[in-house]
Chains A and B, each alone.
Chain A
Amino acid sequence: MFKKISVLSILFIIMAQIAISQETMIINDAWVREVPPGSSVSATYMTIQNKGDDDQLIEISSDVSENAELHTSKVDENGVASMEMIKVLEIPAGKTVEFNPGGMHIMLIGLKESLVGKESINLTLEFTEAGEMQIEVPVKKSAGESHHHHN
């Protein structure tokens, strides 16, 4: 009897944790850009929906690169594009942040292997509140470049 309860309660705790981690941060439309062989950098895009409390994205890593950093591409009035690093991304409760080509993206730095022909990579995101999240990110040649434009 006691054994049964303890097993059940452990199960309940595990399930609750899964439920919590699934509920607080919802990641959609994640993809990483396939880049030519020999490339040392690439970019990852996704949307992150925060269904929990105010949170921060503080750390990113991937299994295919030495580093991963959050960057945003900026184009000034003269058409000069440059990159700015975002050390900590604030994600307020209830907000959705979008990482898109030409905008915010996770830059993979120092690719350890070619992404050509690879199906997916593993990405780890660390949030102050929601904790660590591991996601599988499919590799795509391009997404949307033919179907939607960026403003």
Chain B
Amino acid sequence: MKRRSLLRILIGMLFVIVLLWGIILYVYLNNNSKADYYGIVYEREAPEFTLTDQDGDQVSLSDFKDKVVLIFFGYTHCPDICPMTMSVMNNVVDQLADQADRVQVVFVTVDPERDTQQKLKTYIPYYNESFIGLTGTAEEIDKVADDYNVYYSKEEVESSSEYLMGHNSSVLLITPDGEIFLRYPQNRMDPALIAGDIKRIL
């Protein structure tokens, strides 16, 4: 009688241990696989938007349902970070080779005042013919930036009539099922590693 209950307790304890071990292993593996991505895991539903591209066409996020979307906010009068990011994006697409057509790079201006459709038409294809540049009215841009938690502000340049824009400079990766899954800040701009994340997702 005594032995039996002892056995029961032992089996019960064993069961709890195995269960706990399983939970720990599950959490560990889950975290570990996410930590393996080069980008910072973000996991948020990507808000829908509709803006105007460099050809004057209306473009929505839902147009790219079967693609990985790399989206970032910038402006064409940006001397340093935006051209650098564009050039990195071009390199990422290059590295994807035959999978390149399953990726869409989208540039959204935070400076609709100067970045008209015509301006984007000379700017965007210079980096890559497949890239899409989006503009809209100040209100439309405000709304999209707000939805994507992007901050921006005008900064005057002392020596000229030029102005700069302070803006969020991270690239966001949106999965084919519409989730902002990864975020690439400016210190994570290695094209090979970004391409590696995309290959894993596709």
Contacts and interface: CB of A to CB of B under 8 A. Distances in A.
Q: Do A and B bind each other?
A: yes
A43 interface: yes
Contact of B166 (A36, A38, A39, A83): A83
A118 B83 CA distance: 17
A28 interface: no
A96 interface: no
B157 interface: yes
A39 B167 contact: no
Interface residues of B, number: 40
B123 A38 contact: yes
Which of B123, B152, B159 has the most C-beta atoms of chain A within 10 angstroms of its own C-beta?
Answer: B159
A150 B187 contact: yes
Given A42-B79, A73-B81, 6 more contacts: A40-B77, A42-B83, A71-B79, A82-B153, A145-B87, A146-B191
B151 A85 contact: no
Which of B88, B183, B186 has the most C-beta atoms of chain A within 10 angstroms of its own C-beta?
Answer: B186
A94 interface: no
Nearest to A38: B122
B100 interface: no
B15 interface: no
A105 B80 CA distance: 8
B119 interface: yes
Interface of B: 76-81, 83-84, 87-88, 91, 119, 122-123, 126-127, 151-153, 155, 157-160, 162, 164, 166-170, 183, 185-192
A141 interface: yes
B162 A41 contact: yes
B191 A40 contact: no
20 contacts: A33-B83, A33-B84, A37-B122, A39-B76, A41-B78, A41-B79, A43-B80, A43-B83, A75-B187, A78-B168, A79-B183, A79-B185, A81-B167, A83-B80, A108-B79, A109-B160, A109-B162, A142-B87, A146-B191, A150-B186
A54 interface: no
A36 B126 contact: yes
A36 B169 contact: no
A39 B123 contact: yes
A124 to B, nearest CB: 15
